[in-house]
Structure 1
Amino acid sequence: MKQRLLWLLFVSQVFAEKPSVIIVGAGVSGISAAVKLIENGITNIKIFEAEDRIGGRIHTVEFGDNFIDMGAQYCHGENVVYDTVKNLDLLEHAELFSAPKMYYSNGSHLQSQLIQDLETVVTNYDRDINRTKGVSLGEAFLEKYQNTILDKYKNDPETHKLASDGLIFAHSTILMHEGAFHWSRPASGRHYKPVKGDQMMVWKKRGYDMILDVLLKRYPDPSQKIPIEEKLFLKKKVTKISWSGTPVVELSDGTTHKADHVIVTPSVGVLTHEDLFDPVVPPRKQEAIKSMGFDGIIKIILYFPEKWWHDSDSTFFFLWDRRDLEGVTKEFSEGPNSWVTNLVALVRVPSNPHVLIGWVSGGLIPEMEKLPLDVIKKGSMFVIRKFLGRDYNITEPKAVLRSDWHNNPNFRGTYSYEKNGYFEEEVHYQDHLAEPLTHGTTPVVLFAGEATHPTHYSTVHGAIESGRREADRIIALYP
């Protein structure tokens, strides 16, 4: 009896030392944190996810002849995503931008030296612009463009006009990369650091959600999967996190849940718009949240039963004549004014041979996300036929999808950027955002997600690394 009592006391003490953890959000950062905790013996976990699925801004859906990614699509370099799957033959190089075609709004295929120069300066803008405190990305790029493009062709009026029109294309393309509504919003300086390797890898099988299956060990051997189902609660939106003592999480259904630690992973867009914390977070963290921009882009995904493009085609870029811009509403008037001019590019999907993705950027994103799909379809086809109809016999798409990340209250955008007016070379606001809220010296509310990574923000690999970082922070408390 005495031995059994001692054993029960020992077991109770061991389990008392194992903490309870609530993870807010089942995106890739939350899933990565959960896996790391479980693999290190911390299994008293609840994951509350507002959507009806896991993955967050990774969202792969069946469409056309295969699958497509509504959100994250490309693996950028030899990062943690690449390292996780490199022996599974899941990634391949995307031959998308090696030989793009650029078309003018009068239907002509542009192939001049100017177009090569324009493609070079837009592709390399992030590397070549001057990084100046207090200067926006747009201002820095305009200075670069003036020096390398406009001045080069100033004695050739016809080409100079085309170069001036190229600024519109440059603006739209840069916004596509930055995820901002206007290039005055991001800072010219940034702390982002690319990793080595191929920056444009795509998934051979299905889509980006393969990384979730690999992280959870559901692939390649399902018998080894991490038992997460019983810890996962979908369609459970967190509305309040009280942290003055033992953290308490309140859900939209009115239930409350206590835990020793809470890992918060929602996007910086959600953190900006929602009053989640009681008491409010310290000024240093409030400033960190304000420092990160979070706007959005749109993918328009078109399925064509009859392919009209060539097998050698990979990407079409659209460059508008300013005069066509001014008169475009006379040609297509449905939806917000001139929204069709924000369709920047049309890109082939390697694994889905009858599908093209239109990439849309700019400040009309919130309004465009509300447009009926039939209007999106008609507007997209107007642009495609206007630019490419001279060289291609354009067929009609059978189905269309559109992403809507910005107007979804559980995301409110696509990926983060560093806002102009906040950037300082020696200050990483992402680190400030990642700092835990403490009770005494104990971290009780911890922060993960791509926007909390100091050098890999806006990426899936940054999100994974941040989730593992916060799991490690908890694991270190319970040696």
Structure 2
Amino acid sequence: MKRIVLIVALLASMVVVFCPPVAMAVEHNPTVIIVGAGMSGISAAKTLSDAGLKDILILEATNRIGGRIHKTNFAGLSVEMGANWVEGVGGDQMNPIWEMANKLQLKTFISLFDNLSSNIYKQVGGLYPESVAKVSLDLAEEMSEFSANISTSLSAHRQEDISLLASQRLKNHVPSTPIEMAIDYYTYDYEFAEPPRVTSLQNTEPLPTFDNFGDDLYFVADSRGYESVVYYVAKQFLSTDKAGVITDTRLKLNKVVTEIRHSPSGVIVKTEDGSVYRAGYVMVSASVGVLQTNLINFEPDLPPWKILAIYQFDMGVYTKIFLKFPYKFWPSGNGTEFFLYSHEKRGYYPMWQQLEREYPGANVLLVTVTDDESRRIEQQPDSETKAEAMEVLRSMFGKNIPEATDILVPKWWSNRFYKGTFSNWPIGVSRYEYDQIRAPVGRVYFTGEHTSEHYNGYVHGAYLAGIDSANMMISCVKKKMCKFEVKAKGT
């Protein structure tokens, strides 16, 4: 109730007042508690350790490190439930995650979306003619270029942000037919986990990940898992045994943080099992989805400007459903990796990938759903999801195809430790809100992919955000530079 009253009062005044933390006396070598052992938490911990702040304690709610980078066994295969691609490869700048993947020699495959015009299926009746599909794809490309130009113009003239959908309306073309909606989904939802009507134009067109690091993306299909990159970072500062297993006592698993008490003199962190930890500072790397729930209680409550910043961001849900079959019945070979299903209901099992290159002979398909469809599917039995997916496949390939023998439906939204897969910048969020969401509150610091100005939603965003947030803390501890200034909106 206290949060609601604070926010209502704030909105009523229509003024956001930010009071950055003042410089404070700090211990020479304070203990830092890091909440969460995903990529951003581990990256922050390593940065602190490299700077000499080795008196750290990492509290992880689950029984592993990696967070939303998580492999699992599916029908004898190692597949990724969460992050699956290294996105942004082949440009002038090196994506730090791609550099790690190369050092680890992870098994990766470039994702090829060519020939999509030959692989778009009607709701009923098989493939669209290539000529018809090409017209719709060309129009979508033209719309994307138009939106990018509008975005550049808005930024140059310091005008307010609009949605991707608004930019489509400016061009007088809103995708409405099944094929147009499927291609629109492929263009936007498949990347951002939310539809154009709620997605920021200025933060997505053009997209910094591809502009800075390159247009290529690589699918990770390695038995060691994508999480190997998190372990790669962790093992640079956490001790291991001879077998390479992390044994460092500064990492504690199965520690669900439920309360953070903070004052000018330090922090007290409580966990679900009744443990209590005291430290000089705390770095919170929980997802923005978790911060929007009551899992972690802050005492005193976070200030209104911080709460509002957290609540302004969206937590997307991106669900990769794996299906295994007794034999292959779909086209394979060059130019067949991805195919679209067009349905009158936008986002209904639209994006398919056959994984013959990634898992030869495994007869596995991957279908991606997002947003409301993800939430709907998480609330029904997997058997119903399989039945729906099979109905879609039979619409595409005929009634005589075999039944799937196995299905894997990740449920990130239902998981109280994540509440989704990655953040999406909504309309109107600018540098001002970005500074607020990453700003510390006294001795409480924040990190995560959602605090990355240009790379939110990506693994490299989480990694770079951890470094950025840790450096803010290092400046406070070592240089007594504890003020964090938020520039006025629009500057």
Q: CA deviation at 1:124?
A: 7.4
Which residue number in structure 2 is paired with residue 478 of structure 1? 478
DSSP 3-state at the match of 2:322: strand
What CA deviation, in whole Å up to 9, does each residue of 1:354-392 have, x standing for no partner? Answer: 2211111242322210211111111111111112228xx
Is residue 2:371 matched to residue 1:371? no
What CA deviation, in whole Å up to 9, does each residue of 1:336-365 have, x standing for no partner? Answer: xxx9x6211111234223221111124232
Q: Partner letter of residue 454 of structure 1?
A: E
Which residue number in structure 1 is paired with residue 23 of structure 2? none
Contact in 1 for aligned 2:235/2:246 (Cα 8 Å): no
Which residue number in structure 2 is paired with residue 146 of structure 1? 173
Is residue 2:247 matched to residue 1:234? no
Q: Partner letter of residue 193 of structure 1?
A: P
Is residue 2:379 matched to residue 1:360? no
User: How many angstroms apart in 1 are the aligned matches of 2:464 and 2:213?
Assistant: 17
Q: CA deviation at 1:134?
A: 5.2
Q: Partner letter of residue 254 of structure 2?
A: K
User: How many angstroms apart in 2 are the aligned matches of 1:125 and 1:52?
Assistant: 45
Contact in 2 for aligned 1:64/1:352 (Cα 8 Å): no
Is residue 2:471 matched to residue 1:450? no
Aligned partner (choices 419, 426, 431) of residue 419 of structure 1: 426
Contact in 1 for aligned 2:287/2:450 (Cα 8 Å): yes
DSSP 3-state at the match of 1:357: strand
Larger radius of gyration: 1
User: How many angstroms apart in 1 are the aligned matches of 2:169 and 2:47?
Assistant: 45
User: How many angstroms apart in 1 are the aligned matches of 2:232 and 2:144?
Assistant: 32
Aligned partner (choices 66, 86, 89) of residue 77 of structure 2: 66
Aligned partner (choices 243, 250, 257) of residue 262 of structure 2: 243
Is residue 2:468 matched to residue 1:463? no
Q: CA deviation at 1:252?
A: 1.7
Is residue 2:48 matched to residue 1:37? yes
Q: Partner letter of residue 216 of structure 2?
A: Q
Q: CA deviation at 1:125?
A: 5.7
User: How many angstroms apart in 2 are the aligned matches of 1:79 and 1:183?
Assistant: 27
Q: CA deviation at 1:183?
A: 3.2
Contact in 2 for aligned 1:172/1:361 (Cα 8 Å): no
Which residue number in structure 1 is paired with residue 487 of structure 2? none
Is residue 2:99 matched to residue 1:83? yes
Which residue number in structure 2 is paired with residue 201 of structure 1? 218
TM-score (normalizing by structure 1): 0.80
Aligned partner (choices 351, 360, 369) of residue 345 of structure 1: 351
Matches within 5 A, 1:164-313: 164-173=177-186, 174-180=188-194, 182-190=195-203, 193-194=208-209, 195-206=212-223, 207-217=225-235, 229-245=248-264, 246-274=266-294, 276-312=297-333, 313=336
DSSP 3-state at the match of 1:184: helix
Structure 2 vs 1, CA of residues 99 and 360 (structure 1 numbering), >3 Å: closer, same or farther? same
Q: CA deviation at 1:72?
A: 0.5
Contact in 2 for aligned 1:239/1:276 (Cα 8 Å): yes
Q: CA deviation at 1:120?
A: 4.3
Q: Partner letter of residue 322 of structure 2?
A: I
Contact in 2 for aligned 1:96/1:348 (Cα 8 Å): no
Structure 2 vs 1, CA of residues 128 and 51 (structure 1 numbering), >3 Å: closer, same or farther? farther
Instruction: Show structure 1 runs of 5+ residues with no match.
Output: 1-15, 151-162, 326-338, 439-443
Structure 2 vs 1, CA of residues 276 and 62 (structure 1 numbering), >3 Å: closer, same or farther? same
Structure 2 vs 1, CA of residues 228 and 457 (structure 1 numbering), >3 Å: closer, same or farther? farther
Which residue number in structure 2 is paired with residue 387 of structure 1? 396
Q: Partner letter of residue 388 of structure 1?
A: F
Is residue 2:85 matched to residue 1:54? no
Structure 2 vs 1, CA of residues 127 and 255 (structure 1 numbering), >3 Å: closer, same or farther? farther
Contact in 2 for aligned 1:429/1:454 (Cα 8 Å): no
Q: CA deviation at 1:226?
A: 9.1
Q: CA deviation at 1:29?
A: 0.6
DSSP 3-state at the match of 2:213: coil
CA-atom RMSD, angstroms?
2.8
User: How many angstroms apart in 1 are the aligned matches of 2:241 and 2:287?
Assistant: 30
Structure 2 vs 1, CA of residues 88 and 366 (structure 1 numbering), >3 Å: closer, same or farther? closer
Q: CA deviation at 1:200?
A: 1.2
Q: Partner letter of residue 294 of structure 1?
A: M
Contact in 2 for aligned 1:36/1:471 (Cα 8 Å): yes
User: How many angstroms apart in 2 are the aligned matches of 1:144 and 1:277?
Assistant: 46
Contact in 2 for aligned 1:236/1:252 (Cα 8 Å): yes
Q: Partner letter of residue 272 of structure 1?
A: Q
Is residue 2:346 matched to residue 1:317? no
Identity %: 27
In the comparison of the two structures, how many residue pairs are matched? 421
Which residue number in structure 1 is paired with residue 409 of structure 2? 402
Is residue 2:34 matched to residue 1:23? yes
Which residue number in structure 2 is paired with residue 115 of structure 1? 133
Structure 2 vs 1, CA of residues 46 and 212 (structure 1 numbering), >3 Å: closer, same or farther? same
Structure 2 vs 1, CA of residues 145 and 60 (structure 1 numbering), >3 Å: closer, same or farther? farther
DSSP 3-state at the match of 1:397: coil
Q: CA deviation at 1:446?
A: 1.0
Q: Partner letter of residue 83 of structure 1?
A: E
Structure 2 vs 1, CA of residues 120 and 452 (structure 1 numbering), >3 Å: closer, same or farther? farther
Q: CA deviation at 1:90?
A: 2.3
User: How many angstroms apart in 2 are the aligned matches of 1:222 and 1:262?
Assistant: 28
Is residue 2:439 matched to residue 1:435? yes
Q: Partner letter of residue 202 of structure 1?
A: F
User: How many angstroms apart in 2 are the aligned matches of 1:83 and 1:276?
Assistant: 38
Q: Partner letter of residue 344 of structure 1?
A: P
DSSP 3-state at the match of 1:285: helix
Q: CA deviation at 1:68?
A: 0.9
User: How many angstroms apart in 2 are the aligned matches of 1:224 and 1:44?
Assistant: 25
TM-score (normalizing by structure 2): 0.78
Q: Partner letter of residue 178 of structure 1?
A: F
What CA deviation, in whole Å up to 9, does each residue of 1:153-206 have, x standing for no partner? Answer: xxxxxxxxxx733343245432232212x4322222216512222431122523
Instruction: Show structure 2 runs of 5+ residues with no match.
Output: 1-26, 89-93, 155-159, 480-491
DSSP 3-state at the match of 2:216: coil
Contact in 2 for aligned 1:61/1:67 (Cα 8 Å): yes
User: How many angstroms apart in 1 are the aligned matches of 2:461 and 2:51?
Assistant: 21
